[in-house]
Amino acid sequence: MKTLEKRIKKYLVERGWHHLRPADIAKSIMIEGAELLELFQWDNKELAEVKKDKVKVEHIKKELADVLIYSLEMSVLLGLDTQKIISEKLTHAAKKYPAHLMRKNAKKGAGSGEDSAYWRIKAEHRRNAT
Ligand SMILES: [Mg+2]
Protein backbone atom coordinates (compact mmCIF):
# COMPACT_ATOMS: atom_id res chain seq x y z
CA MET A 1 0.00 0.00 0.00
CA LYS A 2 2.83 2.41 0.85
CA THR A 3 4.32 1.91 -2.61
CA LEU A 4 1.01 2.83 -4.27
CA GLU A 5 0.53 5.79 -1.92
CA LYS A 6 4.00 7.12 -2.82
CA ARG A 7 3.30 6.69 -6.52
CA ILE A 8 -0.05 8.49 -6.20
CA LYS A 9 1.59 11.34 -4.28
CA LYS A 10 4.30 11.68 -6.95
CA TYR A 11 1.63 11.64 -9.68
CA LEU A 12 -0.32 14.40 -7.92
CA VAL A 13 2.71 16.58 -7.16
CA GLU A 14 4.10 16.27 -10.71
CA ARG A 15 0.83 17.66 -12.06
CA GLY A 16 0.31 20.29 -9.39
CA TRP A 17 -2.79 18.44 -8.19
CA HIS A 18 -1.60 18.00 -4.60
CA HIS A 19 -3.83 20.88 -3.43
CA LEU A 20 -7.06 19.53 -4.90
CA ARG A 21 -10.10 20.01 -2.70
CA PRO A 22 -11.31 16.85 -0.98
CA ALA A 23 -14.85 17.62 -2.20
CA ASP A 24 -13.66 17.44 -5.80
CA ILE A 25 -12.00 14.07 -5.17
CA ALA A 26 -15.16 12.80 -3.46
CA LYS A 27 -17.20 13.86 -6.50
CA SER A 28 -14.76 12.07 -8.79
CA ILE A 29 -14.98 8.88 -6.71
CA MET A 30 -18.75 8.93 -7.11
CA ILE A 31 -18.64 9.78 -10.82
CA GLU A 32 -16.25 6.91 -11.49
CA GLY A 33 -18.40 4.68 -9.29
CA ALA A 34 -21.36 5.60 -11.49
CA GLU A 35 -19.33 4.64 -14.57
CA LEU A 36 -18.65 1.28 -12.93
CA LEU A 37 -22.33 0.88 -12.10
CA GLU A 38 -23.32 1.78 -15.65
CA LEU A 39 -21.58 -1.39 -16.83
CA PHE A 40 -24.30 -3.30 -14.98
CA GLN A 41 -27.28 -1.30 -16.19
CA TRP A 42 -29.95 -3.77 -17.29
CA ASP A 43 -27.61 -6.59 -16.35
CA ASN A 44 -27.79 -8.63 -13.17
CA LYS A 45 -25.62 -11.63 -13.95
CA GLU A 46 -24.18 -13.95 -11.32
CA LEU A 47 -20.47 -13.63 -10.46
CA ALA A 48 -19.41 -16.66 -12.50
CA GLU A 49 -21.19 -15.30 -15.60
CA VAL A 50 -19.55 -11.90 -15.27
CA LYS A 51 -16.12 -13.50 -14.85
CA LYS A 52 -16.61 -15.40 -18.13
CA ASP A 53 -17.31 -12.15 -20.01
CA LYS A 54 -13.73 -11.07 -20.75
CA VAL A 55 -14.76 -7.83 -22.49
CA LYS A 56 -16.90 -6.78 -19.54
CA VAL A 57 -14.15 -7.64 -17.08
CA GLU A 58 -11.78 -5.38 -19.04
CA HIS A 59 -14.25 -2.48 -18.74
CA ILE A 60 -14.76 -3.25 -15.04
CA LYS A 61 -11.00 -3.22 -14.44
CA LYS A 62 -10.70 0.28 -15.91
CA GLU A 63 -13.58 1.81 -13.97
CA LEU A 64 -12.61 0.03 -10.75
CA ALA A 65 -9.07 1.37 -11.14
CA ASP A 66 -10.50 4.89 -11.52
CA VAL A 67 -12.47 4.50 -8.27
CA LEU A 68 -9.45 3.05 -6.45
CA ILE A 69 -7.06 5.73 -7.73
CA TYR A 70 -9.35 8.59 -6.68
CA SER A 71 -9.89 6.86 -3.32
CA LEU A 72 -6.14 6.60 -2.80
CA GLU A 73 -5.75 10.23 -3.87
CA MET A 74 -8.20 11.25 -1.14
CA SER A 75 -6.30 9.21 1.43
CA VAL A 76 -2.92 10.58 0.35
CA LEU A 77 -4.10 14.21 0.20
CA LEU A 78 -5.52 13.95 3.72
CA GLY A 79 -2.34 12.26 4.96
CA LEU A 80 -4.16 9.11 6.02
CA ASP A 81 -2.65 5.68 6.48
CA THR A 82 -4.72 3.78 3.89
CA GLN A 83 -3.73 0.33 5.14
CA LYS A 84 -4.73 1.32 8.69
CA ILE A 85 -8.12 2.82 7.82
CA ILE A 86 -9.06 -0.19 5.67
CA SER A 87 -7.91 -2.60 8.36
CA GLU A 88 -9.87 -0.74 11.06
CA LYS A 89 -13.01 -0.70 8.92
CA LEU A 90 -12.67 -4.41 8.12
CA THR A 91 -12.37 -5.17 11.84
CA HIS A 92 -15.51 -3.09 12.47
CA ALA A 93 -17.40 -4.80 9.61
CA ALA A 94 -16.35 -8.26 10.80
CA LYS A 95 -17.89 -7.52 14.21
CA LYS A 96 -20.99 -5.89 12.72
CA TYR A 97 -21.65 -8.79 10.32
CA PRO A 98 -20.76 -11.98 12.20
CA ALA A 99 -19.56 -14.61 9.71
CA HIS A 100 -21.76 -17.36 11.13
CA LEU A 101 -24.90 -15.23 10.62
CA MET A 102 -23.93 -13.96 7.16
CA ARG A 103 -22.88 -17.37 5.81
CA LYS A 104 -26.36 -18.76 6.39
CA ASN A 105 -27.80 -16.13 4.03
CA ALA A 106 -24.99 -16.13 1.51
CA LYS A 107 -26.23 -19.16 -0.42
CA LYS A 108 -27.28 -18.50 -3.98
CA GLY A 109 -30.53 -16.58 -4.15
CA ALA A 110 -30.72 -15.91 -0.43
CA GLY A 111 -29.61 -13.03 1.75
CA SER A 112 -31.39 -10.25 -0.06
CA GLY A 113 -34.74 -10.51 1.64
CA GLU A 114 -35.95 -8.53 4.61
CA ASP A 115 -35.76 -11.67 6.73
CA SER A 116 -32.00 -12.04 6.23
CA ALA A 117 -29.58 -11.35 9.08
CA TYR A 118 -27.84 -8.74 6.91
CA TRP A 119 -31.03 -6.74 6.41
CA ARG A 120 -31.89 -7.00 10.09
CA ILE A 121 -28.44 -5.72 11.13
CA LYS A 122 -28.58 -2.86 8.57
CA ALA A 123 -32.07 -1.82 9.70
CA GLU A 124 -30.98 -1.88 13.36
CA HIS A 125 -27.91 0.24 12.52
CA ARG A 126 -30.04 2.83 10.66
CA ARG A 127 -32.50 3.04 13.57
CA ASN A 128 -29.62 3.66 15.99
CA ALA A 129 -28.00 6.25 13.69
CA THR A 130 -31.01 8.55 13.66
MG1 LIG B 1 -13.84 6.12 -15.71
CATH code of the domain covering residue 40 = 1.10.287.1080
| Same domain assignment for residues 112 and 83 | no
Q: How far is the CA of 83 from the centre of ligand 1 (A)?
A: 24
| Same domain assignment for residues 56 and 77 | yes
Range of the domain at 73: 2-89
Express each pLDDT in 22-33 by its tens digit: 999 999 999 999
Q: How far is the CA of 57 from the centre of ligand 1 (A)?
A: 14
Express each pLDDT in 70-87 by its tens digit: 999 999 999 999 999 999
Q: What does 54-92 look like in DSSP terms, one character per residue?
A: HHHHHHHHHHHHHHHHHHHHHHHHTT--HHHHHHHHHHH
Per-chain mean pLDDT for the chain: 91
| Same domain assignment for residues 17 and 57 | yes
Q: How far is the CA of 18 from the centre of ligand 1 (A)?
A: 20
Q: How far is the CA of 48 from the centre of ligand 1 (A)?
A: 24
Task: Say which residue, 43 or 111, is predicted with more confidence.
Answer: 43
| Same domain assignment for residues 106 and 46 | no
Q: Which of 81, 69, 65, 64 lies closest to 10 in space, CA to CA?
A: 69
Name the DSSP letter for residue 109.
T
Q: How far is the CA of 62 from the centre of ligand 1 (A)?
A: 7
Length of the chain: 130
| Same domain assignment for residues 16 and 80 | yes
Burial profile 52-67: b = 16 or more Cβ within 10 angstroms, e = fewer: eeeebeeebeebbebb
Q: How far is the CA of 87 from the centre of ligand 1 (A)?
A: 26
| Same domain assignment for residues 65 and 125 | no
Q: How far is the CA of 46 from the centre of ligand 1 (A)?
A: 23
The band of 124, judged by pLDDT with boundaries at 50, 70 and 90, is confident
- pTM of the predicted model as reported, rounded to 2 decimal places: 0.83
Q: Positive or negative CA dihedral for 39, 44, 48, 54?
A: negative
Express each pLDDT in 2-61 by its tens digit: 999 999 999 999 999 999 999 999 999 999 999 999 999 999 899 999 999 999 999 999
Q: How many domains does the chain have?
A: 2
| Same domain assignment for residues 68 and 105 | no
| Same domain assignment for residues 11 and 60 | yes
Q: How far is the CA of 63 from the centre of ligand 1 (A)?
A: 5
Query: Distance (Å, rounded) from C-alpha 46 to C-alpha 51?
Result: 9
